[in-house]
Amino acid sequence: MNDKKPPKTIATINFKGGVGKTTVTWCLGDLISTYGKSDVLLFDLDAQMSLTQAITLNEDGSLHGKFSNWQERSEKGKKTIFNAIDEYTKPKSFNFGIDYDFIYQIADRYHFVPSSEELYWLELEVFDREKMKGLMRELLGKITWSKKVSNYHYALFDCPPSFTLLSYSVLAVCDLILIPVNPDFYAVKGVPLILNTLKMRIEPLPIPKIAVFMNKAKPYAGKMTRESQFYWNQVQSICLKASEQSGLNVKCLDTPIFDRVQIKRAITSGGIPDDFVRDFKSLWAGITDFLNE
C-alpha cells in the first residue's frame, strides 16, 4: 500500500515586486531540507523565472551542465510545467506522468519545478479558465501518488506578483499563504490589497491561513529600527482588522528577517548564509506553529 501523504503547501505572495518572495521561499526550502529532515518540492510559478535562473545559471550566465541536460530531457519528453498545464486544460482526462523529468533535483532532499517563459502568455492561451483553478490540486495529487518521486513533506510556491490563473490555482489549494512585507509604505500597501483580493476571489472555497512577516527589516541594536517597527505596527493593525471584519485567519509572525547584504547571494551561492540560519529557523517555527494550530 502506498503510505504517501500530500505535502503541506505554502505559497509566498505579495503584489508588490521586490519584497523578497523568491529569496525567502528558496531559503525556507533550503533550511528545512538541509538543517531539517524534510523533503521539499519548490515551484517557480513566476514567468519572470527569477528563481529558476538563480538556481540554474552559473555566475557567468551560462546554464549549469546538470540542469542543461535535465532541461533538454524535460522539454523533449514534454514534461515542463507548461506542458502539464496544456495537458490539464485539454477536454480529456489529465494524463501527465510525474517523474524526475518533470522535477529537477537540486539536492537530495530539495527538488524543484522550474518556471517557463511560456507562462507569460498562459493567460491568453488557456480557454477553460474555470478548469485552470483546479490545476494545482490535481497536480499535487499526481505528485503525491507518483512512485517515481520522493514523498514530499512540503511544497513551496514562489508566486508571481499578480493574481494570475496559476496563482489562483495555488492559493485555492494551499495550506498557508506567506506574505513578506518590507518596511516601506508601498510594500505594506500590498497587504490590505492582497487580503481583500483573497477574500473576494477565493471564496466560496475556504481561504487558507495567512501569515505575514517583516522581511528586510532595518536592524538597530538587535531589534528593528523605529521606522521598521512603525510599518510593522501598521501591518499588525491591518491584519487585526482583516480578522475582525472579514473573518480571515491572519497571523503576524514576530520573527523578522533583517536586511543584510549576504542575503542577496543566498541562492546563487547555493546555501542559506550562516548569519541568517537563526532568523529563518525562528520564522519557520512561527510558520509551523501556525500551520499546526
Partner 1 sequence: MSKEFLQPSEELKRLAEGISGLRRDLQTTTLSLGRMERRLKAAFPNYPAKKKAAKESKAVPATNKSTEELNKIFDSLVVATKEEGDAGFDRAASDIEKSVILAVAIEIGAGAASRLTVPKAKRGIRRRVQESLQLQF
Footprint on this chain of partner 1 (rule: CB under 8 A) = 185, 188-189, 191-192, 195-196, 225-230, 233-234, 237-238, 241-242, 245
Angle (CA) 86-88-93 rounded to 5° is 130
Nearer to partner 1, 15 or 70 (CB): 15
State the cell numbers at 217. Answer: 527589516
CB of 193 to partner 1, least distance (A): 10
Closest CB 185 distance from partner 1, rounded Å: 5
Do the beta carbons of residue 158 and residue 114 sit within 8 Å?
no
Based on CB atoms, which residue is closest to partner 1, 77 or 219? 219
**What is the CB neighbour count within 10 angstroms for residue 163?**
18
Least distance CB 183 / partner 1 (angstroms): 9
Give the residue ranges of DSSP H helices in the chain: 21-34, 50-56, 65-76, 81-88, 122-125, 129-132, 135-145, 165-171, 185-202, 226-246, 274-292
> Which is closer to partner 1, CB of 140 or CB of 248?
248
Closest CB to partner 1 among 113 and 238?
A: 238
> At closest approach, how far in Å is the CB of 225 from partner 1?
6
Supply φ then ψ for residue 92, to 5 degrees: -75, 180
Cβ(197)–Cβ(246) under 8 Å?
A: no
Residue number with CB closer to partner 1 (99 or 254): 254
Gap between the Cα atoms of 191 and 52, Å rounded = 26
Q: How far is the CB of 13 from partner 1 (least distance, A)?
A: 17
